[in-house]
Amino acid sequence: MPDYLIKNGTIVSSEKTFDNELLISNGKIKAIDKEIKASNSSTKIIDAKGMYIFPGAIDPHVHMSLPSPAGKSSDDFLSGSIAAIAGGTTSLIDFVTPEKGESYLVALEKRKKEAENCLIDYGFHMSPTWWGESSADEIKKCIKDEGITSFKTYMAYKNVLGINNEKLIKVMDTVKKYDALVTIHCENGDLIEYLRNKFIKEGKISPKYHILSRPNETEAEAVNRAIIFSKYTKCPIYIVHVSAKESVEIIQKAQNNKQLVFAETCPHYLLLDDSVFEEDNFELAKYVLSPALRKKEDREVLWKAIKNGNIQTIGTDHCPFNLKGQKDKGKNDFTKIPNGAGGIEHRLSLLFTYGVLTNKISINQFVDIVATKPAKLFGLHHKKGDIKVGLDADIIIWNPDKEEIISSKNHFQNCDTNIYEGFKTKGKPEYVIIKGNIAFKNGKIFKENLKGEYLYRKNNILSY
Ligand code: URP
Ligand code: ZN
Ligand code: ZN
C-alpha cells in the first residue's frame, strides 16, 4: 500500500483543533507536523483543503445478524461494515449472545466466524445470558485470553436474554475483580411484560402500544437498581442506550458521588420522539425499538447531558429489520415486531448536523463521543480513537459542506426502511482511510484492500 500525505486539512481531536499535515505509512499514523516531507517518491498526496480530519469513529453498540423470531437483523457483518465505512465508522463492537447453557467461549468462536467477512475491525461484548458453575471462570478467560473487556447484561427481554437480579449481581461481582466493565440494557422486564400482555388482551395491538408498554419509569427504575448493585459490588458499569430524562438524573447523581457509572445514548433518542406515533399505521413498526422513543423534553435533557459530560458516548444500537418480511410479522400483535432499527451509516452526519452545527456540542466533543471515549472505555485506545503517531491510520477526511437527504432508496444499509428518512444532513466523509487503505472516496466503497480483524482489547480507561 502507498504512503499517504494529507495536506491543508484541519485536524480535530477530542482535545484540540489544529492545522497540520499528516503522514500515513504501513497502515499507521507516522507523522503529524506543520510541514512533512513525503517519505518516498511514491507517496500519494491528498489535498484536504476545507476539510476536517477526524479519527475513524468507533461504534460501541451494534447488532449485525442478530437472531430474532422474525429472522436475523438485516445487516450482516459485510453489509453492515460497508454502511459503517460510508458514514465514517472504522471499528465496531458487536455482541456474543450465548444460548442458555452454552459455553461463552464456544459462542465466541462461532461469532468470530460470523464476523469473518467484516470489512472493518471488530470486537465483541460478551453477554452472560445465563449463569452456571463455569461462568466465573469463563469470564476470566474472556478477559485474560480473548481481550474482551466488557460484559453486556439485559434487565429486559424477560425469558429470552434477560437475567435476574441475583445473576446480574454475580456478573458484576466477577467482572469487577478484573477491572473490566459491565454494560447494561436497563429496563424493568417484569413490568414491561405485564403491560404488553395487558394491551394485547385489550385488543391494543398496533405499534404505538410498544411505547405505551415501556414508559420512562421502566427504564429509570432499572437504571437506579443497576447503579445500586454497582455501588455495593464496586463494579464499574456502562448503561447502554439511555433514553429517559429520569435516568439521566439518576446517573448524574451517581457520578456526583464518584461512582464509576458511564452512559451511552443513541442518535434516535436525540432526534426522534413519540410524536412519530401520532398517526396509527403499521409503517410505524420501523420505530419499534427498545427502550422506546421518548418525548421532546427527554431529547433536550439528553443533549445537555452530553454537553455536560454525563453521557460519554453515542452508539447506534444498529439493529435493522425490514418492514416487509420481518417487522410485518407483528402486523396483528406489536409484541411480535422485532425490536431495532438501523443507524450505523448516519451517526456522524446526523450528530455533526444536529449537534455541532447547532452548537449543542463542540466539534471536539463530537470526536470524543464517537471515537475517543469509546476507544478509552472499551480498551482500544492503544490502537484507535485518536489522531496520534503510532495509532492505526483510521482517518476520516470530512467535507463539512456536503449536503444529503437520508433515504432508504440510496443508503448502504441492507434494509427497506430508515428511521431518518427525509432528514437533511450537512457534512459527510470525502475519504475514509482504514489501516492506511482508502476505503471510501467520492461516495464509493473500495473493498479490495479491506479485511476486518478481531480486536483484542485491553485496559479500559474508566474516567468520565
Ligand atoms: O430495539 C433494540 N434496541 N434492539 C436491539 C437489542 C437491544 O436491546 O439493544
Ligand atoms: Zn438493548
Ligand atoms: Zn443493542
339 Cβ below 6 A of ligand 1? yes
289 Cβ below 6 A of ligand 1? yes
Ion ligand 2 — residues with CB < 5 Å = 185
Q: Out of 93, 268, 289, give the residue to mutate to test ligand 1, the one with the largest number of ligand atoms within 8 Å of its CB.
A: 289
Reported pTM? 0.98
Atom 9, ligand 1: residue with shortest CA distance: 317
Burial of 188 (0-12, 13-18, 19+ CB in 10 A): buried
219 Cβ below 6 A of ligand 1? no
DSSP state of 359: T
73 Cβ below 6 A of ligand 1? no
CA distance 391 to 29: 6
The two beta strands, 52-55 and 10-12, are parallel
158 band by pLDDT with thresholds 50, 70 and 90: confident
How many residues appear in the chain?
Answer: 464
Which of these, 344, 361, 463, 414, lies nearest to 58 by C-alpha position?
A: 344
Which of these, 222, 262, 216, lies nearest to 61 by C-alpha position?
A: 262
343 Cβ below 6 A of ligand 1? no
Asked if residues 313 and 264 have their Cβ atoms less than 8 Å apart, the reply is yes
Express each pLDDT in 394-407 by its tens digit: 999 999 999 999 99
The pLDDT score that the predictor gives to residue 428 is 98
Express each pLDDT in 300-340 by its tens digit: 999 999 999 999 999 999 999 999 999 999 999 999 999 99
Q: Which atom of ligand 1 is nearest to the CA of 240?
A: 9
Atom 5, ligand 1: residue with shortest CA distance: 340
Atom 4, ligand 1: residue with shortest CA distance: 340
CA distance 128 to 130: 5
Asked if residues 83 and 413 have their Cβ atoms less than 8 Å apart, the reply is yes
Q: What is the mean pLDDT of residues 228-244?
A: 98
At residue 420, φ and ψ (nearest 5 deg) are -105, 20
40 band by pLDDT with thresholds 50, 70 and 90: confident
185 alpha carbon – ligand 1 mean position (Å):
8
Asked if residues 44 and 24 have their Cβ atoms less than 8 Å apart, the reply is no
Express each pLDDT in 381-392 by its tens digit: 999 999 999 999
61 Cβ below 6 A of ligand 1? no
Q: Out of 319, 326, 327, 337, give the residue to mutate to test ligand 1, the one with the largest number of ligand atoms within 8 Å of its CB.
A: 319
355 Cβ below 6 A of ligand 1? no
268 Cβ below 6 A of ligand 1? no
Single-letter residue type at 284: L
185 Cβ below 6 A of ligand 1? yes
Ligand nearest to the CA of 340: 1
CA distance 253 to 264: 16
Higher pLDDT, 122 or 41: 122
383 Cβ below 6 A of ligand 1? no
Asked if residues 119 and 81 have their Cβ atoms less than 8 Å apart, the reply is yes
CA distance 22 to 30: 8
DSSP 306-353: HHTTSS-EE---B----TTTTGGGGTT-GGGSPP-B--TTTHHHHHII
